[in-house]
Amino acid sequence: MTTHPNKLLQPPFSVDLIADLHAENLPAGLAPQLWPLARRDPDASRILAALDRVTAELNALGGDQGVASTIPPEVANRLDRALGLLPSTVRPLEQARSRKAARWKYPAAAAASVAAVGALVFTTVDLRSTGPVPDTTAAVELGSDLPAATMLSAMGKNDAPGGLADKASLTQCLAANDIEGSRAVLGSTTVRYQGRNALLVLVAGVTPPKITALVVGPGCAPGDAQQLAMTDIG
């Protein structure tokens, strides 16, 4: 079955569609129509911002974008979990194979796809699960230099400790740190900051494609911000 082009121009837009738009992988006549619609749609804008951020970060790291490499196991596992939460889309077998081969051939495309899914994982997990996604990995060690690549590893995670695992409590913590509730949470993870337990939260920046990284103590609450560090990435 072929999807009529007009159907593709109506929100909600799929992650695949926005990823293809960002990668310039859509028919020439469709992309110019979709760009303004995607920029006006909050969810699509969030995905595009995440894709822009990861692309810029990969370029900043100086990686060779033309050399294929294996996706790290921890990234592949997170991607599998995220994709398992999204609605399935039926495609002809040959089309699915060709898309998969093209998308995973280059490391930049793989990382960008992780970011696109990660941008929606927090919301998806909140709607479809009864609690945070368990993560058994050791807490990330953060120093005062706050390396962007390390902080971006929180993208798509939701393993806040204790009361902050509750979305309302996390929103109140962000408000205590002067972060508006309208700014989407892109991920959160337990970290060690300068030798103490802490929580790293990624939220959409005030001006896309920036991302704000906030590090707080585990007792962050209204009237007790417990802010340890905050910086913008991008």
DSSP structure class, residue 195: T
The whole-number pLDDT of residue 129 equals: 41
DSSP string, 8-77: HTSSSPPHHHHHHHHTT-S-TTTHHHHHHHHHHSHHHHHHHHHHHHHHHHHHHTT--TTS--PPPHHHHH
Are 233 and 53 in contact, with CB atoms under 8 Å apart? yes
The whole-number pLDDT of residue 102 equals: 45
The whole-number pLDDT of residue 215 equals: 95
Query: What span, in angstroms and rounded, lies between the C-alpha atoms of 38 and 21?
Result: 9
The whole-number pLDDT of residue 3 equals: 47
Dihedral through CA 100, CA 103, CA 105, CA 111, nearest 10?
A: -130
Q: Return the structure tokens found at 227.
A: 């802010």
Are 34 and 21 in contact, with CB atoms under 8 Å apart? yes
The whole-number pLDDT of residue 91 equals: 46
Which CA distances in Å does 112 have to 15, 64, 71, 115?
11, 15, 12, 5
The whole-number pLDDT of residue 71 equals: 59
The whole-number pLDDT of residue 70 equals: 54
Query: What span, in angstroms and rounded, lies between the C-alpha atoms of 232 and 3?
Result: 39
- pLDDT by 10-residue block (mean), the chain, 234 residues: 58 83 82 88 86 72 50 64 54 46 44 51 42 55 83 84 88 95 88 92 84 93 94 86
The whole-number pLDDT of residue 226 equals: 95
> What pTM, to 2 d.p., does this model score?
0.47
Which CA distances in Å does 80 have to 104, 113, 121, 130, 223?
14, 11, 11, 19, 38
Are 179 and 171 in contact, with CB atoms under 8 Å apart? no
The whole-number pLDDT of residue 179 equals: 94
